[in-house]
Structure 1
Amino acid sequence: MKTPTIERPAGDRSGAIRRGPLARVVDRLGSGLLQVVLILIGLFWLVPTLGLFAVSLRDQTANTSSGWWTLLTEPGQIVLDNYADLLATGFTASFWNTILITVPSTVLVIGIAAMAAYAFAWMEFRGRDALFLVVVGLLVVPIQIALIPIAGLYGTLGIFGSIPAVVLFHVAFGLPFAIFLLRNFFAGIPRELLEAARMDGAGEWKIFRTVVFPLAKPAVASLGIFQFLWVWNDLLVALVFANTENQPMTKALQSQMRQFESNVDILAPGAFLSLIIPLVLFFAFQRYFVQGMMAGSVK
């Protein structure tokens, strides 16, 4: 039986699909056009941040009489008195309270979740799958339903209103997502690496510390950014569990909103200081963040 053959169009012996001149022009301009669009989106996203920074550098009279963009043509409006007034209001204490809440909440979530995720991914024990399903189910539990019961528990323990109380709440509600994220990443590590380490006499703790955790830097960085931003920008938990002495920046700024018109010179620099730290953190670790988001998408 003769095998049928497919005849190519005349003038095309390479087998490639012929494309018109318009398609070739689009290919050449596509990458450059995409870069321009992304740059415009980035600049548009930065406009509120630049506006907030400009407002923080102008006195109250200038802010009420003209828009912040006039600073670009009249640099003489720049003053630093707003930041001095902000520090005089005790905002420095709120800044350090935010650090004392955010850093332990992030470090504890990463440490506890990494060990739990390793156990769920590579250790065999009774009820492992059922327990992991419980952890996944906790992802859908909103924090609002736990505010009143936890407040009563903190009152019984005598820690209500303190920084440890806020940290413990953030850790408890940050663990389910952290365990779920890291467990899926750990499960994608080749089993041969762990078996080779066991053949060399390494125990579970040494395997986790020297093999698994170093390979999980992208996922850990992504988790750290998520947790840090969530705790740093939190207001609800701070309003409920932090008293005036231990209040973070979000609660301190919220208390100034009652007199917004007369406190713009304090709100603007305070809001900018609370914004700049997450931006610096994100841009410093964006390489690991992108790697963590792409991890596991291609096998």
Structure 2
Amino acid sequence: MSSTGAHAGEIKRGGLSRIVDLLGSGLVQVVMILIGLFWLVPTLGLLVVSLRDETVNAAEGWWTVFTKPADLTFQAYSSLLATGFTSSFWNTVLITVPTTILVIGIAAMAAYAFAWMDFPGRDLLFLIVVGLLIVPIQIALIPIASLYGGLGIFGSIPGVVLFHVAFGLPFAIFLLRNFFVGIPASLLEAARMDGAPEWKIFARVVFPLGKPAIASLGIFQFLWVWNDMLIALVFADTESQPMTKALQSEMRQFGTNVDILAPGAFLSLIIPLVLFFAFQRYFVQGMMAGSVK
């Protein structure tokens, strides 16, 4: 073989290839860890502010805690719980957890039907679902509020949950359907040849293989509902208000009362942060799987 032919069979490595190779080096990994820690600095600052007296926070920066650890106290959290913030925390849980479970369950079954079941109008229905992705939430506020008033669920937790489920399903179905389509058809055909019904194929084959995408969807849905403000302001009353609305009302009433806002903001932040770190392995797998579709 000539030298020209040998060189033709080799893959030319450009600058991007060298950068990709460098990403696996220990130095780059250390740099990425440092960047991650840098992004956690505001969280640390919020924690410190929530654990110090308001007068100390007004006089000094939060970083002085390293030289004055005696300034730390849980008095701000005691004051926060005295305002009835605990009920808002549980309202947030009662809104977010059922919404996430319902969206994942309904979307997974619908996505399986769109991906692997043949029924009349399937493609048209999926196009309608895709079209619903661009519908703004704001245009549905008044009609849904009128509907809820007629049904007697306006201002209740079930009303907030139903609204979040309705607007979370289009994206969830679209995401999971595109992931389920990538599952090898031979696995499903083998299960059908063994006599397995569709529900068993979904539960035993598709759902376990879709865990990365389902975990990613769960994290997105949980964060979106947990941090929601607009729907809470419109559809939740004083008894059913989540933490976002409770913190907003505290700010409106007291202005710059950091002793209430800081611990409340940290409590609303720490749960999603723990959830993300707990499921980050599935989250990364889902993102990588979606990147090669």
Could you state the TM-score of these two structures normalised by the residue count of structure 2? Answer: 0.92
- 2:108 partner letter: A
- Partner of residue 11, structure 1: none
The alignment partner of 1:180 has SS state of helix
For the residues of structure 2 that align with 1:277 and 1:164, how far apart are their CA atoms? 22
Contact in 2 for aligned 1:51/1:68 (Cα 8 Å): yes
Deviation string 1:175-205 (CA, Å, 9 cap, x unpaired) is 0000001001111111111111111111111
Match of 1:170 in 2: 164
Residues 1:52 and 2:46 are matched in the alignment: yes
Q: Cα RMSD (Å) of the superposition?
A: 2.5
Q: In structure 1, what is the equivalent of residue 262 of structure 2?
A: 268
Amino acid of the structure 1 residue aligned with 2:104? I
Distance 1:118 1:30 in 2: 37
Shift of 1:247: 0.3
**1:123 has 2:117 as partner:** yes
The 2-side partners of 1:265 and 1:279 are apart by: 22
Structure 1 residue 40, shift from structure 2 partner: 2.5
- Contact in 2 for aligned 1:166/1:241 (Cα 8 Å): yes
Relative to structure 1, is the Cα distance of residues 44 and 240 closer, same or farther in structure 2, using a 3 angstrom cutoff? Answer: same
| Residue 234 (structure 1) aligned to one of 228, 245, 253 | 228
Distance 2:125 2:163 in 1: 21
Deviation at 1:17, TM superposition (A): 8.8
Match of 1:72 among 66, 71, 78: 66
Cα contact 2:50–2:263 (8 A) shared by 1: yes
**Partners of 2:290 and 2:66 in 1: how far apart?**
46
Which residue of 2 is the match for residue 5 of structure 1?
A: 2
Per the alignment, in what secondary structure is the counterpart of residue 133 of structure 2? helix
Pairwise CA distance, 1:32: 3.2
Structure 1 residue 5 displacement after superposition: 3.0
Task: Give the CA deviation at 1:38.
Answer: 1.0
3-state SS of 1:202 partner? coil
Deviation string for 1:94-140 (max 9, x for gaps)? 00000000000000000000010010001111111011011001111
Determine what percentage of the aligned residue pairs are the same residue: 79
Find the aligned partners of 1:126 and 1:298 in 2 and give their Cα distance: 30
Correspondence for 1:93: 87
Q: CA deviation at 1:174?
A: 0.2
Counterpart AA for 1:260: G
Task: Say if 1:297 and 1:264 are closer, same or farther in 2 by CA, change over 3 A.
Answer: closer
Give the number of equivalent residue pairs. 287
User: Take 2:157 and 2:268, find their aligned partners in 1: how far apart are those partners?
Assistant: 18
Write out aligned runs for 1:1-299 (5 A): 5-6=2-3, 31-258=25-252, 259-261=254-256, 263-298=257-292
- In structure 2, relative to structure 1, the CA distance for the partners of 1:29 and 1:145 (3 Å cut) is closer
Q: Which runs of 5+ in 1 are unaligned?
A: 9-14, 19-23
Gaps in structure 2 of 5+ consecutive residues: none
| Amino acid paired to 2:196 | A
Counterpart Cα distance in 1 of 2:149 and 2:279: 39
- Asked if the contact 2:23/2:29 (under 8 Å) is kept, the reply is no
SS at match of 1:140: coil
8 A Cα contact 1:188 1:296, kept in partner? no
Shift of 1:36: 3.0
TM-score by length of 1: 0.90
